[in-house]
């Protein structure tokens, strides 16, 4: 079992991911924006982080930039449904995201990506 931090400003997305990840045997932590996610990760590190790109207060990209300064080996999966998702997801890859997904998510593909990232 791994601990996975899910960061997304939309509660229904967090709920969907929490249910799927817990169903796959993982412990799930949640944050509603990048600032809160960064604080939570610093308090209780996770094995994997799944973050949205477009969020209020601190975007996923800003959070990833800050996070990788202190934790260069953090494992991140980024997702976005925003208008600039292509550019945001490409930037997320440059900041270290191992995999990226466009919303709406295919939960099966996301769970496969989680398993793969945790195995490596």
Of the listed ranges 2-6, 19-23, 45-49, 83-87, the one predicted with least confidence: 83-87
Residue given tokens 């994997």 in the structure block: 48
Residue 84: pLDDT band by 50, 70, 90 thresholds? Answer: low
The more confident residue out of 35 and 85 is 35
Q: How far apart are the first and last CA of the chain?
A: 15
Of the listed ranges 14-23, 36-45, 80-89, the one predicted with least confidence: 80-89
Question: Two tokens at 50?
Answer: 């799944």
- Whether the CB-CB separation of 88 and 35 falls below 8 Å is answered with no
Please determine, for residue 115, whether its predicted confidence score (pLDDT) is greater than 80. yes
What domains appear along the chain, each with residue ranges and CATH number?
A: 3-119 (3.40.50.2300)
């Amino acid at each position: 079992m791994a601990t996975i931090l899910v960061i997304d400003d939309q509660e229904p997305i967090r709920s969907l991911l929490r249910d799927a990840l817990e169903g796959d045997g993982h412990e799930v932590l949640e944050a509603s924006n990048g600032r809160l996610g960064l604080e939570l990760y610093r308090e209780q590190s996770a094995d994997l982080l799944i973050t949205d790109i477009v969020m209020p207060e601190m975007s996923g990209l800003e959070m990833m930039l800050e996070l990788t300064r202190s934790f260069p080996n953090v494992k991140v999966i980024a997702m976005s449904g925003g208008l600039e998702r292509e550019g945001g997801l490409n930037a997320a890859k440059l900041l270290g995201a191992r995999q990226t997904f466009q919303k709406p998510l295919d939960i099966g593909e996301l769970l496969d990506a989680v398993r793969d990232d945790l195995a490596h």
